[in-house]
Amino acid sequence: MRKALVAAAIFAALGSGTASAQGTIKIGIILPYSGQFADGAAQMDNAIKLYVQQNGDTVAGKKLEFIRKDTGGIAPDVAKRLAQELIVRDKVDILAGFLLTPNALSAGDVSAEAKKFMVVMNAATSIITTKSPYMVRTSLTTPQVNASLGTWAYKNGIRKAYTMHSDYGPGIDAEGAFSKAFKEAGGEIIGTVKMAVANPDFSAYVQRAKDLNPESIYVFVPGGAQPAAFGKALAERGIDPQKIKVMGQGEITDDSALKSMGDGALGIITAFHYDPNHQSAMNKKFVADFNAAYGRNPDFFSMGGWDGMHAIYAVLKKTNGDADGEKLISAVKGMAWESPRGPISIDPETRDIIQTVYIRRVEKAGGKLVNVEFDKVENVKDPVKAAMKK
Amino acid sequence: MTAAAAATSPHAWLQAQARWNRTEIAFWLATLLPFWLFPDYLVLASQIAITALFALSLDLILGYAGIVSLGHAAFFGLGAYTAGLAAKYGWGEPLTGLMLGALAAGIVGYAASFIIARFRHLALIMITLGMGLLLAELANSLHWLTGGTDGLQGVKMWPIFNKFRFDLYGTTAYSYSLIVLFLCFLVARRIINSPFGLSLRGIRENPLRMPALGASSRAHLRKIYTISAVLAGIAGALLAQTTETVSLEVLGFQRSADVLVILILGGAGRLYGGLVGAIIFMVARDQFSGNTPQFWYFWIGALLIAVVMFLPNGILGGLAKLSSAWRSRA
Amino acid sequence: MIAPVIGVLFDGFAYGMLLFLLSVGLSVTLGMMNFVNLAHCAFAMLGGYVTVTLMNRLGWPFFASLPFAFLLAALVSVVFERTLYRRLYRASELDQVLLTIGLAFVSVAAAAYVYGTVQQPVQMPSYLRGSVTVLGVSFGVYRLFLIGTALAITLLLVGALEYTRFGAQVRAAVDNQRMARGLGINVEGAFAFTFALGSGLAGLGGGLAIDIVGLDPSFAFTYLIYVLIVVSVGGLGSIGGSFAAATLIGISDVAGKYYVPELGAFLIYLVMIVLLMWRPAGLFGRR
């Protein structure tokens, strides 16, 4: 009886499988379109749409078809189910999107088992790409950015730092990478505070930092409402980033955070791989087009989505429209291109992104606060996977 | 309760309740239909079955004993983490993993029941909520054990009976979840249609009178709360095993709130309330979010409002009312 | 040595006042009218969006936009009260939960549809930014303003409910509906008014909260837990109770994060559980 059931199910599934038309390639996009992380998903999805709009929906003679699925937030069980359904029911050839680490990790299993090409367009924990040999990442890794910042800080005369981070996966990773690099360079961490993840009010933590009057403060908080709240707490407690150096990953000074923080943010130093204020002709066009279409600046989510689409288009051209997972992943290895964020490439060994990390400072330009790049570290690989190899 | 049933002895009434009627048999036969009709939806079906079991566990305390909980995900999560950790550290056998999950949730549920049974009303809701959130925060800070926000990595399940591996199509997952759901349902049904179940309903209706009749209400509440925790733990373990993932959100407030909504939607205090609620809610969510991934909340919200307006006391409650009204007219 | 203590007490009190403004309305509707309104924070969110729209799109000053946050939230809530809520005054609490959760879902989607999912930025006027230093302790100006507003509202509310004829009618309607009706009091009207007042205050709280906690469509759910904590600890239907609970929770949250950051995430829940085990009906609860 049981065997008959299984046989019936598989037969039925295979039967409906041949329906997929010859001339199309299906791409399943899994993102948290609703819930707490909806804005990141919207920004990424906008970039995906813009790319398709500008480059046409036909690659190597095949028409691209997109199927979008919502995970509703951090939900690895849902993400995995959606990935399974996309492959089993919708017969997609490529999985893409993935804003959140837990979701990317669980869908990675599906990519590995079904041998499907998977493009991680944001989720930034190092180990994600080890989950499936068919996975490539076009965003960043948290250690990539934060370790670069740690080394840079010491090289540029900062000797002591107080670190503050949200007590959850990305925060722990980011602070860990920063402190490790900073200490290896010779710096000293004079104290660390872990902050509650669901935390609307930073005054207590900032007061603690102020009591120590450190030379510099390193901070990591999740993007969204918290960077602005943190910046306001700094201003309110009278910490001036131009005197006590305040450093962190790029989210803390993203567009919407800067708008709410006001002049108190002047002087905050961040390390990141992309900012809409990046000075290049390619980026200027990208930002202008994005603004024309969606009425706001792109952000790093958009950048991950944009380059993810670029990778998909480029590999399909290389394989001449063959969407076999094996062929696509070998095509993407070592691929290098010029992106609005600068030159990037895919590490042939880890399938992870290699890129320039920019060091920026918040300055006022034309009455608006912007992140101004004043230094950079080129060709940065993910330090965690590099260390694992040794 | 019909007049005829009330006239006979309580035992006869219970026996009448315990008899399987045609609708019930049809319902369970219908749960087999996805194998043939929707073979592409078996993964969803398995997660519906798991949610249904979770909602059933909440129904035992909420619908039958009047304990409103906003922290029931605590037990779901305990089951999930226990089963997940067992698999991660080398014991991937599903059935024993399921029992371990049930055991862990049961032990904590029993301990918690001593607090729970002493409170009612808003205090009870908020204490369950607080304990659930504390457990979630604890799991987050035990990063080395739980993997924190990234989730537990390295959960690998062995095939059931060394034969049926968890496949991409979800055939094994659905068969397994459905069988476990059915067995747990039988247990719940037996409990509800026992004198113990009847006295629980008595406590729900009037917490002061039952002790006067000689039924120790707190002991009863503790018992049902523990049973409910066990079932929730089994549901959590099932999810961990069939998806081979465990992450913090198994303990989250959202899961507690969702299951409450699902149960009320289906009809609390009815054995099939949680099951029907899970089917309607998850199928609706799947359809709405497939069509408008960004705004499906609107439609699911509209569905909830419509149900309250037209079918008070949940879908099953509303339908029962409509059908009895129709019958009395006929 | 004493300066940090005062600083922490001040910050905690101000945070508590924000929680108070957000939750006092729910305490009133839940306590007095026995209605479980889980869409309460949706009205707060509405107030927030009204403030943002008036300030950022129409260029209104912050102070001018706040009354409209109150009014619009109150107005919209009355529409819902008259059309949906009133039909469930006698229904089970579970049905009330389902209805109001449904409404909150709809509000989240509507906000995302109209305003997008982005964090709404607000720039406070310069005289509300920064801090003043008195005797070596720095006080955030915006926090001072929050405290002032909350105290004024508390006084107004208590005054209006205790010392006016209308307040007496509302209390009568709530305490004993049948008797009040018999005395010719317009119970329906009193309910609608109470409801509007509660939601309006939430709207005002939403407008005031943006500067501290931000605003996006998930607001309707994010702060629901905090609001419920304040209401339950304070005791249903008690303005003084909500005030005391909000103060206690705000201060213990900030103090906990300052002195024992390892417990930062746990403390607020621990405090709530201990307080509720000690006084299940809340600090000032009657039941």
Residues 6+ apart with CB under 8 A from A238: A210, C130, C131, C133, C138
Tell me whether residue A89 is exposed, middle or buried, using C-beta atoms within 10 angstroms of its C-beta: 0 to 12, 13 to 18, 19 or more. Answer: buried
Question: Confidence class of residue A242 from pLDDT cuts 50, 70 and 90?
Answer: confident
Percent of chain C with pLDDT over 70: 99
DSSP C58: S
Chain B residue numbers with beta carbons less than 8 Å from the beta carbon of C104 are 301
Domain of B48, in residue numbers: 33-250
Q: Which two tokens stand for residue C99?
A: 């209805």
Distance CA A148, CA A146 (A): 5
Name the pTM for this structure: 0.91
User: Quick check: is C67 in a domain?
Assistant: yes
What is the mean pLDDT of the segment spanning A339-360?
A: 95
Looking at residue A12, what is its pLDDT? 47
Residue B254, number of CB atoms within 10 A of its CB: 16
Looking at residue A97, what is its pLDDT? 94
Which residues 63-122 of B have a C-beta within 8 angstroms of A?
Answer: none
What is the mean pLDDT of the segment spanning B252-279?
A: 93
Residues in chain B: 330
Helices (H) and strands (E) in chain B — how many of each?
17, 0
State how far the alpha carbon of A227 is from the alpha carbons of A202, C123, C139, C262, in Å: 10, 14, 21, 21
The owner of tokens 């079918």 is B311
Distance CA C150, CA C240 (A): 12
State how far the alpha carbon of A303 is from the alpha carbons of A10, A138, A213, A224, A292, in Å: 39, 9, 37, 17, 16
Distance CA A380, CA A313 (A): 24
Distance CA B249, CA A103 (A): 11
Percent of chain C with pLDDT over 90: 41
| pLDDT for residue A2 is more than 50 | no
Percent of chain B with pLDDT over 70: 95
Question: Secondary structure of chain B: what % helix, strand, coil (to 5)?
Answer: 75, 0, 20
| pLDDT for residue B54 is more than 90 | yes
Looking at residue A10, what is its pLDDT? 46
User: Quick check: is C129 in a domain?
Assistant: no
**Structural domain count, chain C:** 2
CB C253 within 8 A of CB C230: no
- Find the closest chain B residue to A101 by CA distance: B150
| pLDDT for residue B237 is more than 90 | yes
Shortest Cα distance, chain B CAs vs residue A110, angstroms: 8
**Structural domain count, chain B:** 1
Domain of C281, in residue numbers: 1-34+225-287
Angle at B136 between CA A248 and CA A124, to 5 degrees: 35
> pLDDT for A59-91, tens place per residue?
999 999 999 999 988 899 999 999 999 999 999
User: Quick check: is C252 in a domain?
Assistant: yes
**Do residues C56 and C2 both lie within one domain?**
no
| pLDDT for residue A189 is more than 50 | yes
Which segment of A292-296, A348-352, B193-197, C97-101 scores lowest on mean pLDDT? B193-197
Chain B residue numbers with beta carbons less than 8 Å from the beta carbon of C105 are 297-298, 300-301, 304
For helices C224-234 and C239-259, what crossing angle results, to 10°? 120
Torsion-angle region of residue A189: left (phi > 0), alpha (psi -120 to 50) or beta? beta
User: Quick check: is B233 in a domain?
Assistant: yes
Looking at residue A358, what is its pLDDT? 96
Looking at residue C79, what is its pLDDT? 94
Question: Confidence class of residue A56 from pLDDT cuts 50, 70 and 90?
Answer: very high
Question: Confidence class of residue A390 from pLDDT cuts 50, 70 and 90?
Answer: low
Inter-chain CB proximity A13 and B169 less than 8 Å: yes
CB A298 within 8 A of CB A287: yes
User: Quick check: is C152 in a domain?
Assistant: no
Looking at residue A278, what is its pLDDT? 93
Residue A338, number of CB atoms within 10 A of its CB: 11
Query: To the nearest whole number, what is the mean pLDDT of chain C?
Result: 88
Q: Which two tokens stand for residue C177?
A: 């509906």
**Do residues C9 and C56 both lie within one domain?**
no
Interface check for B130 against chain C (CB to CB < 8 A): the answer is: yes
User: Quick check: is B111 in a domain?
Assistant: yes
Shortest Cα distance, chain B CAs vs residue C212, angstroms: 23
Write down all domains in chain A, each with its CATH number in brackets.
2-140+282-351 (3.40.50.2300), 143-272+357-389 (3.40.50.2300)
- Find the closest chain A residue to B168 by CA distance: A84
What is the mean pLDDT of the segment spanning A99-125?
A: 94
Query: To the nearest whole number, what is the mean pLDDT of chain B?
Result: 89
Interface check for B168 against chain A (CB to CB < 8 A): the answer is: yes
Inter-chain CB proximity B140 and A168 less than 8 Å: yes
Inter-chain CB proximity B130 and C272 less than 8 Å: yes
Pairing assessment for the beta strands A353-365 and A269-272 based on DSSP bridges: antiparallel
Question: Confidence class of residue A237 from pLDDT cuts 50, 70 and 90?
Answer: confident
**Do residues C212 and C92 both lie within one domain?**
yes
More confident site: C280 or A224: C280
> pLDDT for A123-151, tens place per residue?
999 999 999 999 999 999 999 999 999 99
**Do residues C203 and C273 both lie within one domain?**
no
Inter-chain CB proximity C269 and B119 less than 8 Å: no
> pLDDT for C260-283, tens place per residue?
888 877 888 999 999 999 998 888
The owner of tokens 């990953």 is A249
| pLDDT for residue B166 is more than 90 | no
| pLDDT for residue B76 is more than 90 | yes
Distance CA B135, CA A325 (A): 41
Interface check for A167 against chain B (CB to CB < 8 A): the answer is: yes
State how far the alpha carbon of A17 is from the alpha carbons of A3, A13, A87, A323, C171, in Å: 21, 6, 10, 16, 67
Residues 6+ apart with CB under 8 A from B136: B73, B74, B77, B248, B251, B252, B253
Looking at residue C129, what is its pLDDT? 78
**Do residues C113 and C200 both lie within one domain?**
yes
Looking at residue A335, what is its pLDDT? 94
Interface check for A166 against chain B (CB to CB < 8 A): the answer is: no
Looking at residue A22, what is its pLDDT? 67
Distance CA A320, CA A336 (A): 18
Distance CA B313, CA C98 (A): 10
**Do residues C20 and C70 both lie within one domain?**
no
Q: Which two tokens stand for residue B40?
A: 């592409």
What is the mean pLDDT of the segment spanning B63-80?
A: 93
User: Quick check: is B318 in a domain?
Assistant: no
| pLDDT for residue B5 is more than 70 | no
Looking at residue B143, what is its pLDDT? 87
User: Quick check: is B16 in a domain?
Assistant: no
User: Quick check: is B41 in a domain?
Assistant: yes
**Do residues C259 and C208 both lie within one domain?**
no
What residues of chain C have any CB closer than 8 angstroms to a CB in chain B?
A: 30, 84, 87-88, 91-95, 97-99, 101-110, 112-113, 117, 225, 228-229, 231-233, 236, 265-266, 269-270, 272-273, 276-277, 280-282, 287
Substitution target from C260, C273, C277, C284 for chain B, most B beta carbons within 10 A: C273
* DSSP letter string, A221-259: --SSSHHHHHHHHHHHTT--TTTSEEEEEGGGG-HHHHH
Looking at residue A248, what is its pLDDT? 93
Query: To the nearest whole number, what is the mean pLDDT of chain A?
Result: 89
Q: Which two tokens stand for residue B134?
A: 């504390």
Q: Tell me what ipTM this predicted complex has.
A: 0.90
Question: Confidence class of residue C1 from pLDDT cuts 50, 70 and 90?
Answer: low
> pLDDT for C190-245, tens place per residue?
888 888 999 999 999 999 998 888 888 988 888 899 999 999 999 887 888 999 99
More confident site: C239 or B236: B236
More confident site: C166 or A371: A371
More confident site: C211 or A314: A314
Question: Confidence class of residue A35 from pLDDT cuts 50, 70 and 90?
Answer: confident
What is the mean pLDDT of the segment spanning B105-132?
A: 92
| pLDDT for residue C284 is more than 50 | yes
**Do residues C26 and C42 both lie within one domain?**
no
Q: Cα-flanking dihedrals φ and ψ of residue A96, to 5°?
A: -145, 175
Residue B181, number of CB atoms within 10 A of its CB: 27
Looking at residue C29, what is its pLDDT? 82
Q: Which two tokens stand for residue B58?
A: 């909440």
CB C158 within 8 A of CB C240: yes
**Do residues C69 and C21 both lie within one domain?**
no
Looking at residue B8, what is its pLDDT? 63
Chain A residue numbers with beta carbons less than 8 Å from the beta carbon of C253 are 201, 204
